[in-house]
């Protein structure tokens, strides 16, 4: 349970930091790339085991780590793009509703059981995510712009599912720190192309404040992934239980932090969503 609490708290903190980025006019891409490098260096530094860089390609999780790193920054880019074109509500709902993907994966691949009470809890969890995330009026436009939220939905679900798959088959407990660091480093490498494009094509100068913001983001970001993988190693809870609790708790806590720190207003739907989320967590857990 401590790993779930740590992962939920740190993931919620990431949303708060991103919110502060807009207040200080931070270039998000530059900060994100600096964040990935910071997280990678932090993990390599605190890793308890010894390893040789030249031996990393021989690890069973190496190519999986590379793929997830690519997904990390690619999905973030899609989220940023969808937020601009479709609005925050549609994008947020698409990202959080993706919890159904790792749940379905767990049931089909790992033969995890779904009792009636848990099914009700998962349905309520999806409803809670929708109601809690709903901030704006309006619906997704009826043209091809629905494609971006769909890609966010699939991408976010792919990240969670991939992490569960790697943890289950390829990442030993004593290599979690190195795996996490390498995954972040792969995201950093991909992100360098984004920055290169901005510098060359759009004449975007790299600023110190963006780098410092990325460093501040990188520390909790590393530990959020580390504790998430440790969370997935829970010996008795299956992934449908863990992912439901994890995603719903993040949405609920982030919403409450928005109210406390940024004076955001809760409408009736948000309040209903928080209450449903509490009920969903109780049903899925017990």
The highest-confidence range among 88-92, 96-100, 200-204, by mean pLDDT, is: 200-204
In this structure, what token pair is assigned to residue 56? Answer: 């990393």
Q: Note the pLDDT tens digit of each residue in 127-185.
A: 877 776 665 554 444 445 567 778 888 898 899 899 888 888 888 877 888 888 889 99
Name residues whose C-beta falls within 8 Å of residue 197's C-beta, 6 or more positions apart in sequence: none
Q: Report yes or no: 279 and 249 within 8 Å, Cβ to Cβ.
A: no
* 3-class secondary structure, 87: coil
Domain ranges of the chain: 2-285
Closest by CA position to 149, among listed 88, 219, 193, 62: 88
Please provide the average confidence, as pLDDT, over all residues in the chain: 80
Band of the pLDDT at 285, cuts 50, 70, 90? low
Per-residue model confidence as pLDDT tens digits over 217-255: 999 988 988 888 888 777 777 777 787 788 778 877 877
Residue 93 confidence (pLDDT)? 66
CA distances to 79, 139, 275 from 88, rounded to whole Å, are: 9, 11, 22
Nearest to 157 by CA among 211, 85, 79: 79
Dump pLDDT digits (tens) for 264-273: 777 788 788 7
**Lowest-pLDDT range, 56-70, 159-173, 198-212, 263-277?**
263-277
| pLDDT at residue number 251 | 76
- For residue 166, give both structure tokens: 């790697």
Residue 87 pLDDT > 70, yes or no? Answer: no
Output the pLDDT for position 92.
66
In a 10 Å sphere around its CB, with 0-12 CB exposed, 13-18 middle and 19+ buried, how is residue 261 labelled?
A: exposed
What predicted TM-score, i.e. pTM, was given to this entire model? 0.77
What's the pLDDT score for residue 187? 92
**Helices (H), ranges, the chain:** 2-23, 28-46, 62-86, 88-96, 100-109, 116-133, 147-169, 176-201, 208-232, 239-262, 268-285
């Amino acid at each position: 349970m401590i790993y779930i609490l740590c992962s939920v708290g740190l993931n919620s903190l990431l949303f708060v930091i991103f919110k502060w980025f807009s207040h200080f006019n931070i270039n998000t891409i530059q900060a994100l790339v600096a964040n990935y490098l910071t997280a990678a260096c932090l993990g390599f530094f605190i890793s308890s085991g010894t390893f040789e860089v030249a031996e990393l390609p021989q690890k069973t999780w190496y190519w999986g780590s590379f793929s997830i790193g690519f997904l990390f920054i690619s999905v973030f880019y899609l989220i940023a793009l969808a937020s601009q074109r479709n609005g925050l509500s549609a994008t947020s709902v698409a990202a959080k509703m993706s919890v159904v993907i790792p749940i379905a994966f767990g049931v089909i691949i790992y033969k995890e059981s779904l009792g009636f009470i848990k099914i009700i809890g998962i349905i309520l969890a999806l409803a809670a995510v929708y109601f809690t995330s709903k901030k704006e009026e309006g619906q997704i436009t009826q043209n091809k712009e629905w494609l971006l939220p769909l890609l966010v939905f699939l991408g976010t679900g792919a990240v969670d599912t991939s992490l569960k798959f790697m943890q289950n088959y390829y990442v030993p407990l004593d290599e979690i720190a190195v795996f996490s660091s390498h995954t972040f480093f792969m995201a950093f490498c991909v992100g360098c192309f984004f920055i290169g494009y901005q510098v060359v094509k759009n004449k975007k100068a790299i600023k110190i404040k963006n780098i410092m913001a990325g460093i501040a983001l990188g520390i909790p970001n590393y530990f959020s992934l580390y504790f998430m993988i440790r969370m997935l190693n829970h010996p008795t809870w299956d992934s449908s239980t863990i992912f439901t609790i994890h995603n719903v708790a993040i949405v609920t806590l982030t919403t409450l932090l928005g109210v406390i720190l940024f004076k955001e207003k809760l409408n009736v739907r948000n309040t209903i969503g928080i209450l449903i989320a509490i009920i969903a967590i109780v049903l899925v857990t017990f």
